[in-house]
Structure 1
Amino acid sequence: MTVEASSAEHSGSLVGRIAAAAKTTEDDVVAVFTTYGIPLAYPPARPRSVRVHRLRVLGVRAGTKHDGPFDRTFTFDTDFTALVASNFRGKTSVLEIITWCLRGSPRDRLQADVRRWLSGIELDVTIAGQAVGFRLSLDKGALVRGEVLAASQRQRLTAENSDAGRQGVSILVDTADEDDFAAQVATLMLDRLDLQPLVNSVSKDKQVGTQTHGWPAYYSAINLPAGPDKPLLGDQPMAGLPGRLLQVFLDLPAAAVLTRVKATREVLQSEVSQERDRARQVAEQRVADRARAQEALTAAQAELDRLVQQAPGPSLTDLADAAGRLARHVADAEEDWDQLNRAYRAARRQRQADEKALNDVKESEIARLLFHGLDPSACPRCETPITKERRKEERDVHRCAVCTAEVVGETASDEEVEAEAQARVDASKSAEDAARQALESAESTLSQLTAQLDEAQQRLRTAGSDDTVRQRMTAELEVARWKGALEMVPKPAEHDGNEESTVLKVLAAADKVLDQDSKAAAAALFTELNAEIADLARRFGMSALERVEVNRAAQLKVIKGGGAQSYFGKQSPGEQVRLRIAVVIALLRVGARLGISTHPGLVLIDSPKAEEVQDFDAAVVFKELAELAANNHIQVLITTADRELSRAVLPADCLVTAEEGAPLW
């Protein structure tokens, strides 16, 4: 089965197992992992070997006994290379210069004066089968140009300045900024070695966030740290990095994915906890506010009840409300009266007009003729007023007052016209009488309401002069104020504080499932790894060692003769050096046997004898390391100031030696 097919099959089953553990759907699982950028597959890693071939350093040494220009090239053709020189003669600097190139940024162990000597660095390496060249141009210790080249053949890297040499060489990185060079190299190395950034959660000031560790964290497992305060693997003891490095280098399933799941879950859980704390605090504040408002309302109500007993009857507020209501009723009654008065006057005018029309009908023929016609006061078209003269001409000479035409026609029966005119008079008189009665009723109602308003206002003025009544009004206002305050404070919302979101359920289930996968894969692997570490440590001189037990957190338990147990941190400095070396080589040997991609296979060790007590132990370590490197195709670069020891136990082709007291470069 191909890697892709295996990954797809495992990914599908992984989604199903996480969904079942979270008691949710597979779509929910995919959505959560997609939202937070976490992969749902973890295929086996690609080979990630790193091998150093050539280092060239150029510059001018100053402030020493050996000042002057230098141009030194080191070749590393053997699996094991020992750099031999007196103390403070450039051994450590070689490892740190290599580190600057491969890591992307220098460490503090590269002395400032040494940096200022350098004007150029060339490093040729092979990374995962690809020939790669690092080219650094420096000025007074500062990077002025950093390049990373890739070549089809390693030999082309040394001839890249010629036209022929440029063929088959490509530029991967080219920058004049030191930080940019470090970032680009880190990205390049992670990609070429098939490594993912390590993400873990960190807590600060009760806040949980994430911290990402990139290529420099991995590189600390190549250039092995010295000192008793360092962890078993890498150089950062915090945040569980040693364990994560161990799991990645053992290619345990889901090591990087599990790290991201854990970090994401811890951050989200922290955010949920903080939100719950905020909600709880808000609810508690609301309860306290309501309690204070209720307490104040109870006290105000008690005071009001006491004042009511002292001054029974309507309160000043009630009297004011009553007076206000009566004032509104009086205003409404006045408006009604005004409307009825206008209606009465209109009815009276109509009655008078009807009586005049009756009189005209009785006295004028033209009036009878025009009785059923219109009687406009102005021209209906131009609105010119009809004058008295035209009205007189209409009566006297029968000429229309509107159009001045002669009025002709048959005159209706005088009795019929007079009867109809009389009927109109009778109707208008009835309407006038009804309007007068309605007006008189409204006048009576208005009079009564006005009297009641006067009485209410007088009672209000009288009550307002009483101290007890004023106190009662103040108490009523206080009661109303606290009732309003109580209504403004909402009741605390009821919710299930233990309710867990789907996202957290999925992440918790993924943490459990992935951890089970990692444990299952580690069970047999760690048994073999423990045996390999113990065997190597004994070969390095820890003869009393019975066995070791390392776990996925890179915690190493050491069991010595007689069953005495202690952890890595309790061992002597020399034993810690041996164990660190043993762990790295064990990773490589176990990985080679099982066909998994593990450690890059490059190990830099600076002056291990500095932590040793007896020359014999150092001789054993050197000899075994050289043999292990040759047999397992591991590249080891080591430094020492003991030229006699190195010559005694190591082949001559493994040694890069400087004269006594002379610089190595």
Structure 2
Amino acid sequence: MADETALESRIAARAKVRVDEVRSVFEAQGIPLAVPPTRPRSLRIHRLRVTGVRTGTLEPGPFETSFEFEEGLTALVASNLRGKSSVLELVTWCLRGTPREKSGAIHWLSEVDLDATVAGQAMAFRLDLQAEEITSAVVLSGPDQRTLKALRTPDPAQGVLPLFRAASSESYAQQVQALMMQWMDLQPLVSAQQGTTAVAHGWPAYYGALYMPAARSAALLGDVVMAGLPGRLLQVFLDLPAAAVLAKVKTQAAMMSTARQRRQGAANEAQAERAEQRAQIEADLSAAQTRLTQLTQATNGSKQESLADLAAATKQLSTAAVNSQEAWDKLMRLHRQAKSQRQRDEKLLNDVRESGIARRLFHGLDPTTCPRCDQSFAIERHQLEVQDHSCAVCTRPVQGDDEAPEDVIAEAEERVKSSSEAERMAKEILVQAETELDQVTRDLSAAQDRLRQADAAARVPVYAQAREEVLRLEGALSVLPKLPPPGVDPVEDLAIKVLRAAAKTLEDDHEKEAARLFTDLNTEISDLGRKFGFAALESVSINRAAQLRVTSDGGHERSFTDQVPGERLRLRIAVIVALLRVGAAHQVSTHPGLLLIDSPKAEEIQDVDIHLLLQELNAVADANNLQVLVTTADFGLAHDVLPAESIKEAAEGKPLW
């Protein structure tokens, strides 16, 4: 409670509000001001059992296979396409709620059982399958693994109780994800999507840090790069103060600020539109009042021209003026289009002179809005196109050689030349039209003056009409009052102020705690990377966003994504082990300590390197409370590195299960 009170006071001081106002804002937003210390979140698997009927030509018929898993490194060894990866996917299905990929062999299965210990609690995951879908599932808790091993249904007499039941794949996925978040003491990772919608990432996002992604993935931690998830995972696994609360606070502040900006923008637009309407009515009223004055002062004895002739001439000039105005409007639009095209061509010329990615995309489409929802692309996406070489439309990396840059630049220069000439010609025609419009307008004004002067005989009805027009416009002006400036919602204003102050305060706490942890984390990652075979590695620097800078080869610094696939794999494993080491040293809750790696040898790692990686990984797994499952088709590799009890293998060409 003392820590919570201190946090309230610091936020209040920073926001320059009262402590009770801080408390009311957090209560209204449903965000806790403080989070109790995280419980240990270790995760261990002990046994996987599968039953079913195999079809096809390779050993068809019913089967039942069980795998026992101990601490440390376990290798699943079989020929390619013989069930190694399927074991990882079945473990993932039980623990994550859904497999990352369903292999073709899953349709053989009728039962899948997994025994595991989740945050110290013995649990049993029991799935009944048909046609690759769950028809019935139950998750049991019990006093120990030995009791659970023999059971597939609850047995209250032995203390085996159901945690939940499910009758479909969808229901199981939802319930197991909620269960794991609760037992692993994890909070949803919340982010704001385009500043308007809060998106919560749950257990599948955390599980991405257990099941290593393909080495070419750009994510250092987890399997998703978007929404800053690698950094969020790192902060949670380092037990940085209230990491999930900070994410919620920042997301809510961003959403409220965006909503306020949009509301104020709409109010400003309405105010500007109202001002424009009033200005037009005021101009019309001024003209009507002038006309009324002229009619009042006109004399009855002035010499009159033929009203019929003057009316005909005025009508003819009015038509000519309308036609001239329409022609001028059209030419003005054409001139603006020509000018805009010339400006775009000049910008494109500048881009292709300076950027290879611009030349690469020179002949591609350049939409400004999404072709599906018609919303404009954020300007940041076009900036990232130049900075990160990612397509502004689909955000995928744009790769390829910059071929014939001189041709692209020459074509761009020719476009500028053509659009400049088109703009010049449009301008000349527009000026000529302006001259004609001015002359017609002057002629029309003169004809109207003569018509008014000749209208003495009808002066009384015209005067009445003019007076009526003045009164009408004065009435129209009275019902269109000026709109007040956008108002400020004091409750919203207070909430945004407090949430922003809270975000800065929690960020400060994070930075202080990170300074204590990250030095040790960088040292551990560097040492482990070298042990795992990254011989040229000199040092690393990781930040709270899980961005890793790697120094190697005599001081050459590069990012994590600049590394070759094999080095990325080593660094990912090094980060996980480093988190466990630093967590143990600083007594904080960290990574669950379960790691699944599918075919590391396929990630462009030489035979000598993979031997070294697995040897060191086996050693650090035993020493750092880490359980690792690795698949390989190299029978010799597994036996060179591991004792027989740590190898689950099938005869060459035979199925693993």
- Calculate the TM-score normalised by the size of structure 1: 0.73
Give the match for residue 549 of structure 1.
Answer: 541
What SS does structure 2 have at the residue aligned with 1:304?
A: helix
CA distance in 1, matches of 2:634, 2:70: 22
8 Å CA contact retained: 2:133, 2:168: no
CA distance in 1, matches of 2:86, 2:486: 63
Bigger CA radius of gyration: 1
8 Å CA contact retained: 2:268, 2:485: no
The 5 Å alignment of 1:296-375 reads 296-310=284-298
Query: CA 1:584/1:471 → structure 2, altered by over 3 Å: closer, same or farther?
Result: same
8 Å CA contact retained: 2:79, 2:652: yes
Q: Per-residue displacement from partner, 1:91-137 (whole Å, max 9, x unpaired)? A: 10000000000001222x222x2221111100000011110000000
CA distance in 2, matches of 1:161, 1:208: 46
In the alignment, structure 1 residue 255 sits paired with structure 2 residue 246:
no
8 Å CA contact retained: 1:153, 1:168: no
Q: Per-residue displacement from partner, 1:140-166 (whole Å, max 9, x unpaired)? A: 111101110000121111232589785
CA distance in 1, matches of 2:527, 2:296: 98
Give the match for residue 242 of structure 1.
Answer: 230
Give the match for residue 115 of structure 2.
Answer: 124
Give the match for residue 48 of structure 1.
Answer: 41
8 Å CA contact retained: 1:159, 1:165: no
What SS does structure 2 have at the residue aligned with 1:15?
A: helix
CA distance in 2, matches of 1:143, 1:613: 38
CA distance in 1, matches of 2:49, 2:297: 106
1:169 to 147, 152, 160: 160
8 Å CA contact retained: 1:612, 1:618: no
1:105 to 98, 119, 122: 98
Give the match for residue 178 of structure 1.
Answer: 169
CA distance in 1, matches of 2:532, 2:126: 37
2:639 to 623, 644, 647: 647
The 5 Å alignment of 1:477-516 reads 477-494=468-485, 501-516=493-508
What SS does structure 2 have at the residue aligned with 1:541?
A: coil
User: Identity rate of aligned residues, in percent?
Assistant: 49
CA distance in 2, matches of 1:484, 1:13: 61
Query: CA 1:23/1:91 → structure 2, altered by over 3 Å: closer, same or farther?
Result: same
8 Å CA contact retained: 1:157, 1:165: no
CA distance in 1, matches of 2:263, 2:597: 49
Give the match for residue 345 of structure 1.
Answer: none
CA distance in 1, matches of 2:187, 2:592: 14
TM superposition shift of 1:495: 5.5
The 5 Å alignment of 1:398-417 reads none
In the alignment, structure 1 residue 230 sits paired with structure 2 residue 218:
yes
Give the match for residue 61 of structure 1.
Answer: 54
2:73 to 64, 73, 80: 80
Give the match for residue 618 of structure 1.
Answer: 610
8 Å CA contact retained: 1:159, 1:166: no
8 Å CA contact retained: 1:548, 1:556: yes
What SS does structure 1 have at the residue aligned with 2:81?
A: coil
More divergent stretch after superposition (612-621 vs 61-70) = 61-70
Give the match for residue 432 of structure 2.
Answer: none
Query: CA 1:187/1:550 → structure 2, altered by over 3 Å: closer, same or farther?
Result: same
Give the match for residue 254 of structure 2.
Answer: 266
8 Å CA contact retained: 2:138, 2:153: no
1:36 to 29, 36, 39: 29
Give the match for residue 562 of structure 2.
Answer: 570
CA distance in 2, matches of 1:97, 1:481: 79
Give the match for residue 138 of structure 1.
Answer: 129
CA distance in 2, matches of 1:545, 1:106: 35
Aligned residues: 502
Query: CA 1:148/1:498 → structure 2, altered by over 3 Å: closer, same or farther?
Result: closer
8 Å CA contact retained: 1:85, 1:661: yes
2:652 to 649, 654, 660: 660
In the alignment, structure 1 residue 291 sits paired with structure 2 residue 282:
no
More divergent stretch after superposition (529-538 vs 478-487) = 478-487
TM superposition shift of 1:11: 0.6
Give the match for residue 386 of structure 1.
Answer: none
Give the match for residue 21 of structure 1.
Answer: 14
1:221 to 209, 212, 216: 209
8 Å CA contact retained: 1:557, 1:565: yes
TM superposition shift of 1:70: 1.5
Q: Which amino acid aligns with 1:292?
A: Q
Q: Per-residue displacement from partner, 1:44-89 (whole Å, max 9, x unpaired)? A: 2001000000000111122352322211000002421000111111
CA distance in 1, matches of 2:299, 2:474: 23
Query: CA 1:311/1:69 → structure 2, altered by over 3 Å: closer, same or farther?
Result: farther
CA distance in 2, matches of 1:662, 1:602: 28
CA distance in 1, matches of 2:260, 2:143: 53
CA distance in 1, matches of 2:154, 2:209: 39
1:586 to 572, 578, 587: 578
What SS does structure 2 have at the residue aligned with 1:124?
A: strand
Give the match for residue 590 of structure 2.
Answer: 598
TM superposition shift of 1:496: 7.9
8 Å CA contact retained: 1:160, 1:166: no
Q: Which amino acid aligns with 1:504?
A: I
TM superposition shift of 1:658: 0.9
What SS does structure 2 have at the residue aligned with 1:562?
A: coil
Query: CA 1:20/1:543 → structure 2, altered by over 3 Å: closer, same or farther?
Result: same
Q: Which amino acid aligns with 1:492?
A: L
CA distance in 2, matches of 1:224, 1:271: 38
CA distance in 2, matches of 1:119, 1:163: 19
Q: Which amino acid aligns with 2:188?
A: P
Q: Which amino acid aligns with 1:523?
A: A
The 5 Å alignment of 1:171-210 reads 171-203=162-194, 208-210=196-198
CA distance in 1, matches of 2:153, 2:489: 70
In the alignment, structure 1 residue 278 sits paired with structure 2 residue 266:
yes
CA distance in 2, matches of 1:548, 1:164: 52
CA distance in 1, matches of 2:154, 2:617: 42
The 5 Å alignment of 1:397-546 reads 467-494=458-485, 501-546=493-538
What SS does structure 2 have at the residue aligned with 1:630?
A: helix
Give the match for residue 438 of structure 1.
Answer: none
Q: Which amino acid aligns with 2:67?
A: F
What SS does structure 1 have at the residue aligned with 2:27?
A: helix
TM superposition shift of 1:311: 6.5
More divergent stretch after superposition (68-77 vs 221-230) = 221-230
8 Å CA contact retained: 1:156, 1:165: no
Q: Which amino acid aligns with 2:89?
A: E
CA distance in 1, matches of 2:106, 2:22: 51
Query: CA 1:9/1:64 → structure 2, altered by over 3 Å: closer, same or farther?
Result: farther
8 Å CA contact retained: 2:114, 2:126: yes
Give the match for residue 355 of structure 1.
Answer: none
